[in-house]
A and B are shown apart, each in its own frame.
Chain A
Amino acid sequence: MASVRLLLTRRCCTALKTTTARTHVSYEVKDNVAVVRINDPTSKVNTLSRHMQAEMVEVMNEIWGNAAVKSAVLISRKPGCFIAGADINMIQACKTAEEVTSLSQEGQKIFDQVEKSPIPIVAAINGSCLGGGLEFAIACQYRIATKSKKTILGTPEVMLGLLPGAGGTQRLPKMVGLPAAFDMMLTGKNIRPDKAKKMGLVHQLVDPLGPGLKSPEERTIEYLEEVAVDFAKGLAGRKVTVEKKKGLVQKIQDFVMGLPPVRKQIYKTVHSKVMKQSKGLYPAPLKIIECIQTGIEKGNAAGYLTESQNFGKLAMTSESRALIGLYHGQVTCKKNHFGKPERDVKKLAVLGAGLMGAGIAQVTIDKGVATILKDTTEEGLARGHQQVYKGLNDKTKKKSLTTFERDGIMSLLSGQLDYRDFENADMVIEAVFEDLSIKHKVVKEVEAVIPPHCIFATNTSALPIKDIAAASKRPEKVIGMHYFSPVDKMQLLEIITTNKTSKDTTASAVAVGLKQGKVIIVVGDGPGFYTTRCLAPMLAEAVRALQEGVGPKKLDSLTTGFGFPVGAATLADEVGIDVAAHVAEDLGKAFGTRFGGGNVEVLKMMVQKGFKGRKSGKGCYVYGAKSKEKKVNSGAEDILKSFKLTAPPAVSADEDIQYRLVSRFVNEAVLCLQEGILPDPVQGDIGAVFGLGFPPCLGGPFRFVDSHGADKLVQKMKRFEEAYGNQFTPCQLLLDHAKDSSKRFHK
């Protein structure tokens, strides 16, 4: 023990000597190798902030000025993070495109020096190496990464409406080839270490270590450093070469890529693919293509200039602001703002093994929480069990899970038809049929068997929680947990509290949701809560548009053209026409004519004919097993014809239809904030985008009002109101914002 302490103090002394006033970057010279260690003491992750960059430049200059240093290793002291990217706040603080461009140019300059370093620099990567972090790493002469699950490489800038602005668009194509570089930068996807090695993004992989004389995390970093130092020495002594021999396939690919017509064709294909997927609503992918193309066709100088200028331009776009806003919102909604619950949920019971119930069970067991999945019939249970198994097994096919891990996870699931072991449950989530009397029956049955501390959560999409809680002996333990289908893919969880729900119950529900990996909004109780309530008027409007003769395909293209990932008609089929009818009727009763528009009878008639949407094979569309092309369901068309309405020409232009749909959504969202159902605009935006697919490029309904202008929106609504009535009456809060342009939902 004493010797350990001595070692520690000694290390501290050397650190002090070399870093005098530096807090983020330190280095020591071992055997002619400068080991540069980065660690932002103010954050969980390292970012390339101004401070970090300044210290890095200082350190690099010292190293380059030291003749005794023959090579260098760049490593992070944080266990789960190399460098997570540039500092977003630094970019957001800029007022003009020129400012951002000059930030980009500074970054380019630093990495240019790194690339031209007189001594070899080895980037030793453990944990996230993203954005600017990856750009730094690829400027180094050699890269070694750990095979840790936390190690990911990627250029996620596109997801923030930006582009890799510190040389990434110029270096990546040369390193991994044009197609792979496009794929990385346009999708922003994370690349695992094995793949990175295959692509040529890293040179060597290092296995993460288990327990030794130190914690696995600590020792793994040390080991990575030892290996990296050896390679650095090898590079300095020319025993290790950077260039690897190219295989035949690589040579052929290089040859083909060397032909200008081939490259031209690639640019064209990528461009049209981006246009098709983004509908031209996202400027970043197009700018990325431009940067890559300029660099390759016109040379480095032009490429770097285009990169920095485009980076500046993109940072000023509303799309980038919207996406960055969502990023921040997501971070906020991944925290528990209700404190630590009194006890952890160690055993969860899910009632109903349907699509939702099984999905909830899956995302619970795969986080290591024992889960009971209860259904009333063996067929139902078997189906749900199979769904969970398939969900996990698909992960083994993608190699994100081993078959052994899958089996271990499955062993946490107990499928049963009775209430056995419910006396040990800490939380019950019911996902039975949406019918108040059934829910009441379930509440009573469950409360008879669960322990007093157990929380009863209900996964309903529209029934008010207080109505369900009316059957409970302990309403303080009742809460709504509204999951979205498919549960294992959709990130949002909407938690609904009644005025009787205790704070600890809320804290516990949020804790469970976070464990399940969800982005969480916590809203007040009421018919449809927040998300369903916003969606219902939009769907009512969609039905009206259909009645007015806008075909399902046209409706879909209008909505996707506005930025919704799924068109309104397709969305109705996905949600289920029966569910939509149910919700429309319930909320129609609760909110009156404001929720009118389309005729509910259209939906009811469709249900009657068996057109329940995708699950029944027919809805607005016909879902065949084979053909990829969706065909419009002629039966549904006939129904629409029998309910035909005349479209008022003044409000039926394409853009009008789009705004009719969106304004009703947005107005209802703002009304939810006004009524206190929503605690703040951030959660409103997150709920709309992650739960309902509100266009991410608009950042959510509240950011949309800010960027579009409340006054302009109100003007449009007034025009629609004249034609249709109170469904388009702007709510008071929206009017307030329209009147005073200084009022904004987001500062």
Chain B
Amino acid sequence: IKKTLAKPGVKNIVLVDGVRTPFLQSGTIYADLMPHDLARAALQGLLNRTGLPKDAVDYIVYGTVIQEVKTSNVAREAALGAGFSDKTPAHTVTMACISSNQAMTTAVGLIAAGQCDAVVAGGVEFMSDVPIRHSRRMRKTMLSLNKAKTLGARLSLLGSIRLAHLAPELPAVAEFSTAETMGHSADRLAAAFGVSRLEQDEFALRSHTLAKKAQDSGLLSDVISFKVPGKDIVSKDNGIRPSTMEQMAKLKPAFIKPHGTVTAANSSFLTDGASAVLIMSEEKALAMGYKPKAYLRDFVYVSQDPKDQLLLGPTYATPKVLEKSGLTLNDIDVFEFHEAFAGQIMANLKAMESDWFAQTYMGRKTKVGAPPMEKFNSWGGSLSLGHPFAATGCRLVTTVAHRLQKEGGQYGLVAACAAGGQGHAMVIEAYPQ
């Protein structure tokens, strides 16, 4: 058995349990809900799973990326509706695809600082309905209309409306700083690292195949059943579709046309879903009679150029967090990396395997090395299970805990990239069984 990563003077913080709603392709069964409905389902599921008394929670932190304007603090709305005590404060965080990682590490921080003992963290993303706005000109006219006092002033404002002002503004999965969509950046990243279309399709197929296997053999135990109002009970992810290489090869590139390599089949799809985890100090968990699943250990956030290194977060975060924990890549038994695009994963693996990249761009002496594939995302990943932006982080952490239990390893590593050129990694240690 390997050494524990406990550090003197640092509180042991544990993951008691984690759940998630089934991840569904957006526009399917969840289509008529609101984001806080999904979040509520995950929070209620966590209460059910853990049998946690509702007033035992000190604080709730929840992540979300595309905000529903009516529920901008979605954490609070969801908590109230999920039946948590109205005395439990809740706040919402946002950090693109690592929003629920941020929610979890915020929880860790609150506990480590001695301010809380039990915190619920999670994340929700609802892509079936996104805020579509009037154009800026139209909004300006409408706001002025509120202030216009006379009929004449109102009429003249109404008269200033032109057909072009009525064109709506759609939210895009694009960087604000560069105006480049993420898929476009992923395609360029894959090209920069010489990742072929074939490699990408193979990796996507692997993800779907492994996810299917995990689903069929009941390994995805973090998924809870959810009775959708007016619809059936949902208890399975619906984006897992192992295809064939031939089928996948037929697809045209989705972003860089006609010569790009990123397609709909080797990218993660727009997903609705929510997740939640219960994080406690070890003493509190034990005092309440829980058997924790894992220790949450060191974590890092990194950021780099949002134009050319948008999705390289894992490459930068992995060696940094390993160094913090005094581990090497070989010590890790379980890897769970967020799969935004197959090309992005392959590019990260190549970057991690390159001394030149480590020396030229990361200021390191040597490469960190690429994770061995047999330990990597072996129950599927975001490409197949789905990627509700702000819910993925909790899924990764819970999956690591479950895989450590199932496979008998001691250390797990979570890593993810996020819009804005940011990234995150966390080391997780199995709780002694």
The answer to whether B189 touches A204 (Cβ under 8 A) is: no
Q: Which of B178, B350, B354 contacts A402 (CB 8 A)?
A: B178
Query: Is residue A486 contacting chain B, with contact meaning CB distance below 8 A?
Result: no
Contact residues in B for A216 (Cβ distance below 8 Å) = 192, 308
Chain-B contact segment, one of A206-214, A451-459, A566-574, A598-606: A206-214
Answer whether residue B244 sits at the interface, using C-beta atoms and an 8 A cutoff: no
Which residues of the partner chain B approach A215 to less than 8 Å between Cβ atoms? Answer: 360
A211 touching B357, Cβ below 8 Å: yes
Establish whether residues A206 and B259, one from each chain, have CB atoms under 8 Å apart when the complex forms: yes
Q: Which of B179, B193, B258, B259 contacts A212 (CB 8 A)?
A: B193
Tell me the residues in window 187-209 of chain B with beta carbons closer than 8 Å to chain A beta carbons: 187-189, 191-194
Option from B178, B256, B305 in Cβ contact (under 8 Å) with A404: B178
- Shortest CB–CB separation between residue B420 and chain A, in angstroms? 12
Those of A621-648 within 8 Å (CB) of chain B: none
Q: Does A227 contact B (CB under 8 A)?
A: yes
Give Cα A243–Cα B187 distance, bound, in whole angstroms. 27
B298 within 8 A of A: no
- CB neighbours (8 Å) of B194 from chain A are 212-213, 219
| Shortest CB distance B215–A (Å) | 35
Q: Which residues of chain B (164-186) have a CB below 8 Å from chain A?
A: 176-179, 184
A230 within 8 A of B: yes
Contact string against B for A residues 218-229, beta-carbon threshold 8 Å, 1 for contact and 0 otherwise: 010001000100
A231–B192 CA distance with the chains assembled, in angstroms: 19
**B68 close to A (CB within 8 Å):** no
Q: Bin chain B's interface residue count.
A: 20 to 34
List of A residues within 8 angstroms of B188 by Cβ: 207, 209-210
Contacts of A209 in B (CB 8 A): 188, 191-192, 308
Q: Contact between B259 and A204 (Cβ–Cβ < 8 Å)?
A: yes
A 77-114 to B, binary, CB cutoff 8 A, 1 in contact else 0: 00000000000000000000000000000000000000
Q: Looking at the assembled complex, report how far the CB atom of B262 sits from the nearest CB atom of chain A, in whole angstroms.
A: 12
By the criterion CB–CB under 8 Å, are A207 and B307 in contact? no
**Nearest Cβ on chain A to B348's Cβ, whole angstroms:** 12
Determine if A12 is an interface residue (Cβ-Cβ < 8 Å): no
Whether A1 is near chain B, meaning CB under 8 Å from some CB there, is: yes
Say yes or no: is B309 at the interface (Cβ < 8 Å to chain A).
yes
Given known contacts A402-B179, A404-B177, A404-B178, A211 and B259 CB-to-CB distance under 8 angstroms = no
Would you give the 0/1 interface string for B357-369, flagging 1 where the beta carbon is closer than 8 Å to chain A? 1001100000000
- The size of the chain A interface, using a CB distance under 8 A, is 19
Q: Which residues of A contact B258 (CB under 8 A)?
A: 204
Docked pose: A537 CA to B244 CA in angstroms: 83
User: In the docked arrangement, what's the CA distance between A671 and B429, Å?
Assistant: 84
Partner of A219, one of B184, B192, B305, B347: B192
Determine which residue in A206, A207, A223, A231 has the highest number of CB atoms from chain B within 10 A of its CB, and name it: A207
A206 proximity list for chain B (CB < 8 A):
259
Q: CB within 8 A of A213: which of B256, B308, B309, B350?
A: B350
B192 to A211, Cβ gap below 8 A?
Answer: yes
Known contacts A1-B355, A216-B308, A230-B259, A210 near B189 by CB under 8 Å: yes
Smallest CB separation, B255 vs chain A (Å): 10
Complex alpha-carbon distance, A230 and B355, angstroms:
30
> Is the pair A223, B191 in contact by a Cβ cutoff of 8 Å?
yes
Give 1 or 0 for each of B298-335: 1 = CB within 8 Å of chain A CB: 00000001011100000000000000000000000000
What's the Cα separation between A731 and B193 when bound, in Å? 67
Contact A211 B178 (CB under 8 A): no
> Which residues B369-420 have CB closer than 8 A to chain A?
none
Q: Which residues of A does B touch, CB under 8 Å?
A: 1, 204, 206-207, 209-216, 219, 223, 227, 230-231, 402, 404
11 of the cross-chain contacts (CB-CB < 8 Å) are: A209-B188, A210-B305, A211-B192, A212-B191, A212-B192, A212-B194, A212-B357, A213-B193, A213-B194, A213-B357, A219-B192
Other CB < 8 Å A-B pairs besides A209-B308, A212-B351, 13 of them?
Answer: A209-B191, A210-B308, A211-B192, A212-B189, A212-B350, A212-B357, A213-B357, A214-B356, A216-B192, A219-B191, A223-B191, A223-B192, A227-B259
